[in-house]
Structure 1
Amino acid sequence: MTSNPAAVQPLPTASLLEDTLQRLRLREADIVARDDRAWAAWRRWEHGQRGRVPATLGAVQASFVALAVLDDPADLDRAVALADQLGVERVAQLQHRASRVVDADPGLPRTTRVVHRLLGADASARLGRALLFADIALDAAAPTDLTSVRSALVALSHGGSVVAGREALGMLATEPWGPLADELTDQAAAADRDAIATLLAWCREWRADQDRRVVGRQIQRLIALSGVTQRQFAARIGTSPSRLSSYVTGAVTPSATLLLRMQRSARAFQIELAAASAARA
């Protein structure tokens, strides 16, 4: 199928959002012929919004339906364009919301198809990973049956269901540097080791990103407790406001010693502000 050049040429964000929605509507006949339930579910959702659908959400919903039902390579290009302009994580979360609208089947066949289509192309693979991990639930309990976990991971690597795959990834991502990870890799058949190693690397990267965000929220809390501005807090700990902002967002993780300095500084600011308040009273 020939791609529509308009789908891959750079467009301003507002034009891209509107064009994505309109392109889906123009292909109604093709979508209904292939998957009338997906189309009906999407239209019910759209009508239920009573014309108040945010442009970003509407466009990503439309993109998800196109990826789930049609085979046009231009839809992959369009998903990448949305991710480039809106952010990979944001688009993945909106795709996850879309899956709840058009993929009522507990087995999530449409979501599975979208994930594997995205993972199958280098340009969209990062978005595919973000959507795959968008509904990961960490499971603190170690699995009792490693064989089933390994089977789910191997199946996922070969186009299998994201439902079982996410459950297995959740178990693995709980402690991706622990003994479970080593056992899964060591006991895997030789033909499956590369696939499991790849998924393990994804889990480690995802968990490290989650941990950075937790640290960022802790730093944000320390700044709030200190009672001073972020600029004042940065000066107190010996860094720049922009660097402190990168710690808050999780883009950069501070060293353990700097984190301790932040905790001491927050307490010191509290004491100083309390003393100043008492002196004025």
Structure 2
Amino acid sequence: MTLATDQRKPAQVQPPHRPDGDNREHFVDQPVEFWPTAAIRSALQSGDIATWKRIAAALKRDPYGRTARQVEEVLGGARPIGISKALWEVLDRARAHLEANERAEVARHVKLLMDRSGLGQQEFASRIGVSPEDLAAYLDGSVSPSASLMIRMRRLSDRFVRVKNTRAADSDQDAASGS
């Protein structure tokens, strides 16, 4: 048997596939909201401040969204130090801010329904079955009413609008007929 040197081209050596490696590289051009959890994990473990700011901005935009859930999952067992502590604080503050805005929006809606009904605050409270103090708390946004109570308020408001419209139509007919 004769031995000769191998004339074939050497095989290209590929770096080993690392499933837990820096997955951010593939997603860096995409919005954070589209990153897989592995990329979020990688960014939190070895990312830079610009990447962390992008994640924080995504948390502020949607504090209960996909990125927020991914960050919760990744930070679930982490000690609250460094970037993990900072992102928990961003998430907590974003959620508190969102909830305050939602309570204020509900308060505006309650006021709209009360004003639309034409009833005073005490009468409106009585007709929806709550104390004037509870209605005041709904109106200042410190507490939000239940969904069923919101429906009751809307129905009351609708009923009084119909009564007003019927009376207005009747008085228009009376004026037109010359009575």
Provide TM-score, normalisation by structure 2: 0.59
Change (3 A) 1:202 1:267: same
Is contact 1:143–1:171 with CA below 8 Å preserved after alignment? yes
Which structure ranks higher in relative contact order (CA pairs < 8 Å, sequence separation ≥ 6)? 2
Is contact 2:33–2:66 with CA below 8 Å preserved after alignment? no
Q: Which has the higher helix share?
A: 1
Is contact 1:153–1:168 with CA below 8 Å preserved after alignment? yes
What is the match of residue 109 of structure 2? 218
Root-mean-square deviation (CA, aligned residues, Å) is 3.1
What is the match of residue 197 of structure 1? 88
> Counterparts of 1:263 and 1:196 in 2: how far apart (Å)?
40
- Tell me the SS of whatever aligns to 1:176: coil
- Tell me the SS of whatever aligns to 2:93: helix
What is the match of residue 27 of structure 1? none
Matching residue within 158, 175, 179 for 2:66: 179
> Counterparts of 1:247 and 1:174 in 2: how far apart (Å)?
26
What is the match of residue 230 of structure 1? 121
> Counterparts of 1:269 and 1:182 in 2: how far apart (Å)?
44
Structure 2: give runs of 5+ residues left out of the alignment. 1-30, 175-179
Change (3 A) 1:150 1:204: farther
1:253 correspondence with 2:144: yes
Is contact 1:153–1:199 with CA below 8 Å preserved after alignment? no
User: What is the CA deviation profile of residues 184-237 of structure 1, one whole-angstrom value per residue up to 9, with x for unaligned ones?
Assistant: 344469443232122211111111111111111111111222222222221211
Matching residue within 161, 168, 178 for 1:277: 168
- The structure with the largest alpha-carbon Rg is 2
Change (3 A) 1:143 1:258: same
Is contact 2:60–2:90 with CA below 8 Å preserved after alignment? no
Matching residue within 127, 130, 135 for 1:244: 135
Change (3 A) 1:172 1:232: same
Report deviation, 1:170.
4.8
User: What is the CA deviation profile of residues 97-133 of structure 1, one whole-angstrom value per residue up to 9, with x for unaligned ones?
Assistant: xxxxxxxxxxxxxxxxxxxxxxxxxxxxxxxxxxxxx
> Counterparts of 2:162 and 2:116 in 1: how far apart (Å)?
11
Change (3 A) 1:254 1:150: farther
- Tell me the SS of whatever aligns to 2:127: helix
The alignment covers a number of residue pairs equal to 130
> Counterparts of 1:185 and 1:203 in 2: how far apart (Å)?
14
Report deviation, 1:242.
2.5
User: What is the CA deviation profile of residues 145-166 of structure 1, one whole-angstrom value per residue up to 9, with x for unaligned ones?
Assistant: 7649984596xxxxxxxxx6xx
Is contact 1:247–1:254 with CA below 8 Å preserved after alignment? yes
Name the amino acid aligned to 1:197. W
